Structure 1
Amino acid sequence: MNDDSRFDEPTRRDYLTYGAAAAVGSLFAGCAGQSDSETTQTGTPTESGTPSTTEADTAEPDTSSYEVCMEPNGCHTLDAVPEKFMVYHQGPVDMVIALGQLDGLVASAFPSTFPTAYFDQLPGVSVDMEDVTALSEDGTPDKEVFYELDVDMHLIGHHPAMEYFELEETDIAELEENVAPFHGSWMRRPDYTDGHPYYGLYEGLDKYAAVFQSQARGEAFRSLHDELVADLTSQFPPVEDRPTVAYLNTNYWGDGKTVYVRDPTVPGYQTKPLRDLEIPEHDPFAGQYPAESNFIQGDYELLLEVDPEVIVYHAGMNVLRDPEKSFENDILGPLRDDPVASEVTAISDERVYPYHEFEQGPVMNLFNTELLAKALYPETFGEPTGMEAPAEENQLFDRQRVADIINGDF
Structure 2
Amino acid sequence: MGNTDVTGGLTRRDYLAGGGAVLGTAIVAGCSSDNGDPSETATANDGTAGTSPTTDGSYTASLSPVGEVEFDSVPENVFTMYNQYADMLVALGHGDAVNAMFVPEMAGPSMRHYYERLPGVSFDWEGLPNPYTNFTKEFFYGLDSDVHLLDPAWAIAQDNWDVSDIEELTDNVGPFFGNFYSGTHGDPQEPYSEDYRYYTLWELFGRVASVFQERERYEQLKAVHGELVETIQSNLPPAEERPTAVRVTLGDGQFWTYHLNRPGFWLADTRPLAANDAFGDETWDGLWGSVGYETMLEADPDVILHLWGMTPRYDMDSVRETLASHSVGRELSAVQNGRVYAHGMRYHGPIMNLFQIEMTAKQLYPDVFGEWPTYENGAHYPEIPAEEQLFDRDRVAEIITGGQGV
Which interval holds the TM-score relative to the shorter structure? 0.7 to 0.9
8 A contact 1:375–1:384 mirrored in 2: no
Aligned pairs for 1:8-407 within 5 A? 18=22, 38-39=42-43, 40-43=45-48, 64-113=57-106, 114=108, 115-130=111-126, 133-136=128-131, 139-163=133-157, 166-186=160-180, 187-191=182-186, 193-194=188-189, 195=193, 196-250=196-250, 252-253=251-252, 256=253, 258-279=254-275, 282-286=276-280, 288-290=281-283, 293=286, 295-318=288-311, 321-322=312-313, 325-329=314-318, 331-380=319-368, 381-386=370-375, 387-393=380-386, 394-407=388-401
8 A contact 1:140–1:165 mirrored in 2: no
User: How far apart, CA to CA, are the structure 1 residues paired with 2:148 and 2:70?
Assistant: 14
| Residues in 2 aligned to 1:18 and 1:150: alpha-carbon distance in whole angstroms | 35
Distance 1:163 1:224, change over 3 A: same
Distance, in Å, in 2 between the alignment partners of 1:284 and 1:303 is 9
Shift of 1:75: 2.0
Matched residue of 2:266: which SS?
coil
Once the two structures are TM-superposed, the CA of residue 19 in structure 1 deviates from its matched residue by: 7.1
Q: Find the aligned partners of 1:231 and 1:399 in 2 and give their Cα distance.
A: 16
- Asked if the contact 2:64–2:197 (Cα under 8 Å) also holds between the matched residues in 1, the reply is yes
CA distance change for structure 1 residues 135 and 346 in 2, over 3 Å: closer, same or farther?
closer
Report the aligned-residue RMSD. 3.0
2:310 alignment partner, SS class: helix
Distance 1:385 1:337 in 2: 21
> Which stretches of structure 1, 4 residues or longer, exceed 4 Å deviation after superposition?
34-38, 163-166, 291-296
**Structure 1, residues 331-364: CA drift from partner, whole Å, max 9, x if none?**
2222211222211211111211121213110101
Where does structure 2 lack aligned partners over 5 or more consecutive residues?
1-19, 26-36
Give, in whole Å, the separation in 2 of the partners of 1:229 and 1:62.
40
158 and 296 in structure 1: CA distance in 2 versus 1, 3 angstrom threshold? closer
Whether the 8 Å CA contact 1:266–1:294 is kept in 2: the answer is no
Instruction: Give the 3-state SS of the residue equivalent to 1:353 in structure 2.
Output: strand
TM-score (structure 2 length as normaliser): 0.78
Q: Alignment partner of 2:198: what SS? A: coil
Shift of 1:314: 2.5
Letter of the structure 2 residue corresponding to residue 326 of structure 1: D
1:158, CA displacement in angstroms?
1.0
- Asked whether the 8 Å contact 2:96–2:123 carries over to 1, the reply is no
- CA deviations over 1:311-347 (Å, ceiling 9, x no partner): 11233223xx33xx41221x22222112222112111
- On the 8 A contact 2:88/2:349 being kept in 1, the answer is yes
> What's the offset of the Cα at 1:276?
0.7
CA distance in 2, matches of 1:346, 1:63: 61
- Tell me, in whole angstroms, the C-alpha distance in 2 between the residues paired with 1:112 and 1:303: 31
Distance of 1:326 and 1:108 partners within structure 2:
23
Give yes or no for contact 1:154–1:180 (8 Å, CA) kept in 2: yes
Report the TM-score when normalising by structure 1: 0.77
Residue deviations 1:99-129 (CA, integer Å, cap 9, x gap): 1112322333333431222112111222222
For 1:174 and 1:185, the matched residues in 2 are separated by: 19
Partner SS state of residue 270, structure 2: helix
